[in-house]
Every structure is written in C-alpha cells, then in structure tokens.
Amino acid sequence: MSQNQRTVVLVDAVRTPFGKAGSMYSGTRADDLMVRAIRGLLERNPKVSPNAIEDVAIAAATQTGDQGMNLGRSAALLAGLPNTVPGYSVDRWCAGAMTSTTTLAGAIAFGSIDIAIAGGVEHMGNHPIGDGLDPNPRFLAERIVEQDALAMGATAERLHDRYPQLTKERADRYAYNSQMKTAAAYAAGKIQRDLIPTAARIPDLGWGIATVDEPPRPTTTMEGLATLKTPFRAAGRVTPGNSSGLNDGATAALLASEDKAKELGLTIKAKLVSYAFAGVEPEVMGYGPVPSTIKALAKAGLQISDIGAFEVNEAFAVQVIAFLDHFGIADDDPRVNPYGGAIAVGHPLASSGIRLMLNLARTFEERTDVKYGLTTMCIGLGMGGTVIWENPHFTGGSK
C-alpha cells in the first residue's frame, strides 16, 4: 500500500430539518432520521453506487435505545446499503459528526478506503441531555472537575466570569444577529436547498412532512432577549435566547479521495486541509475552539488571516464571541456564520459538525475569492475541534 497521503474531499452534505426536542419528531425514531439523511444524500448523488460505499461512521452523544446498536452499521442496513458495507458508531459528544468526518478522512488519506459516509444524529426528545449518564463520583470527590463542568450552561457562565468583556449585551446582540441572518438565508432559499424532506409523526396529529427547521425565531428582538431568565445562575448572563436549544435532527456527508471523486465525475465542494482537537479546563468548555484552531492552523501552515470563511457552532453566544475575541475578529464580521447558526436553527448535539460543513461549502460556492475556511465547535468536558478546508472554486482574490 502506498503511504503517500491522499487528498480528501467533501462531495456533498445534507441534513434533515431540525426540530425542537420532542416536538415535530416526537413520534419519529432517531435511527429513522439518520436513515432519511443517508438516503437523501445518495438520492442527490446518483453517480455513487451504494456498492461503492466502503464505510459508514455515525455519531450520537447518547448511544442507547434508538441511538444505540451501533448506529453506523444499523443505519447503513436500514438505509438499504449492501450488507457488505461495514459501519461503526462515534461519540465525541457535540463533535460527533465532525469526528465521524475526520476519522473517515484519515482512512481515505491513508488509502484504506475511497468513499465513505459520515453522519450524526441526536433526538434530544427521546434522549434528554445527560439522560442515563453516571459520572464517576471521583470527578467531584477528588476535585478532578468542578460541579459546573458537568452542566454546559454553567460552563458558559464561567466564560463570562473569566472574560468580563464578554458581556450579556454582546451575547444577546450576537444571538439576535444569528436569528436575523437565518431569517434572511431562509428568505433567499439558501438553507432549504440542503434540507431533506423528512417524514414526521406526531402521535396526536399523525404523519406529516418536515421541510423547514422548527426552532428559528425571526421575530426576536434585543428587548425581548434582555428580559429572559438566566436558568443556570441567579442574575447570570446565559439565557435560552443566547444559547442553542434542545433539538432533534440528523446530518450526513459523502467523503471521497480526490482521485476517486474525479474518476466518478462527482462534485467537489471542499478539500480537507487539516484538523485538530484540543482540550481545555472542563469548567470553561466553550473556549475549546481556540486551541483546536491554533493547532489546526499550525498543521496547515496557515495564519488566522488566511481564513476567509468561518462556521462556528453556536452552542452559546459567549463561546463564539470568546473565539472571535481571541483572534481579533469583530462580533459582526460578515465572514462568520453568514447563514446564521445553531442559536437559530438548533444544535442536535452529535449532528452539528456536518451542518457546519454544508454551510461552509455553500459559502465556498458563493465566494470564489475565498481560498480557505474552517469549521469549529466546542465539546463537552472541555474540548474543541477544528477542521480547515480549501475552496475548490477559488479563482483568486482574497485568501
């Protein structure tokens, strides 16, 4: 086997519409959401025979019930892939789909496989956050972590504590802008094009078809955000308005070696340049994208000034503005999340990494003057993940 590293490309990515936890997908299984995403992905790419898929990696943060039984394998079989196609499950909490992507990319770069499907799903209605967890008592008894480390909202409050310049007003303003950008992207038809219509069964109402995201609140105002309660701390700064919600949804991505993509005449939406994961103090989990981005940039031989497009997961507004502050980027920089983000459309935990990828790929199509972009997100228990991508449509101009 040749040990020369091969270029890995994103051929395509899709997602189901995201729902509020236990709402429009209350009667729909998580694995069925994942199956619909996989089928929709393959329907959009008819040049790829199901027999050509060589591996499937599917992520979920809670791997029990309808998110258990090795989702990678079971979803592949349920989606109609040949039984010769293997699969496996991934768990890196919020960065599950991102890790599905990078792990498969490593296999493609090494030459073990040529084409694979990465994905992620979270049905937070069926699996409330923290459901079934049994943290080792040593975490707290031996002060390995503080109590706040086990509650993501509390870690966001700690970010506000550590960096006083990250005010609630800034967080609310960022959240408001996310809602407005999402509303504008919907009005322009930019989000719907990557949503796979998905059957949804609500026990009291019967079957329907989900075609748009349920969570966005386009009527959000700064005045309204200012009045919301702070559930994680009395007189705190983190509210339901400047945080992502609890959501249900699935994402899927088609990855290939560049050579195989060209051989089959497939689209190339982005080229993977580098990726990195990093750890931080669990109590300030949201700071994780800073060191992971520093590492990924170093591996790529790039500077932050080389990045012309950013997709930053909006678990909490304070986490995003902490990242932007570190790199000297304005809160309202147009390069950041041009279609809005998770504060508006939702964050079904392990699925979100691929939502970032599909948004970045669309930006690459529109911005042929942008050469490099990145996707980044914070991860529970104090981690961050970053993937740097190259724009295949780059024609010159900015970096």
| Tens digit of pLDDT at every position of the chain (399 positions) | 445 799 999 999 999 999 999 999 999 999 999 999 999 999 999 999 999 999 999 999 999 999 999 999 999 999 999 999 999 999 999 999 999 999 999 999 999 999 999 999 999 999 999 888 899 999 999 999 999 999 999 999 999 999 999 999 999 999 999 999 999 999 999 999 999 999 998 777 788 999 999 999 999 999 999 999 999 999 999 999 999 999 999 999 999 999 999 999 999 999 999 999 999 999 999 999 999 999 999 999 999 999 999 999 999 999 999 999 999 999 999 999 999 999 999 999 999 999 999 999 999 999 999 999 999 999 999 999 999 999 999 998 755
Other CB atoms within a 10 A radius of the CB of residue 116 amount to: 28
Q: Which amino acid is at 355?
A: R
Q: Is 123 among the residues known to form the active site?
A: no
Q: Is 378 among the residues known to form the active site?
A: yes
121 contact partners, CB below 8 Å, separation of at least 6: 30, 31, 33, 34, 37, 58, 59, 60, 67, 71, 249, 250, 251, 348, 350, 351
Q: Which of 94, 123, 127, 160 is catalytic?
A: 94
Q: Which of 123, 326, 347, 393 is catalytic?
A: 347
Fold of 147-189+272-390: Peroxisomal Thiolase; Chain A, domain 1 (3.40.47)
Nearest to 375 by CA among 72, 40, 97: 97
Q: Which of 127, 160, 378, 393 is catalytic?
A: 378
Residue found by looking up tokens 């300030």 in the block: 284
Predicted structure pTM score: 0.97
Residue 373 to residue 190: CA distance in whole angstroms: 18
Residue 316 per-residue DSSP state: B
Per-residue three-class SS string for 205-252: CEEEEECCCCCCCCCCCHHHHHCCCCCCCCCCCCCHHHECCCEEEEEE
Please answer whether residues 125 and 22 qualify as being in contact, where contact means their C-beta atoms are separated by less than 8 angstroms.
yes
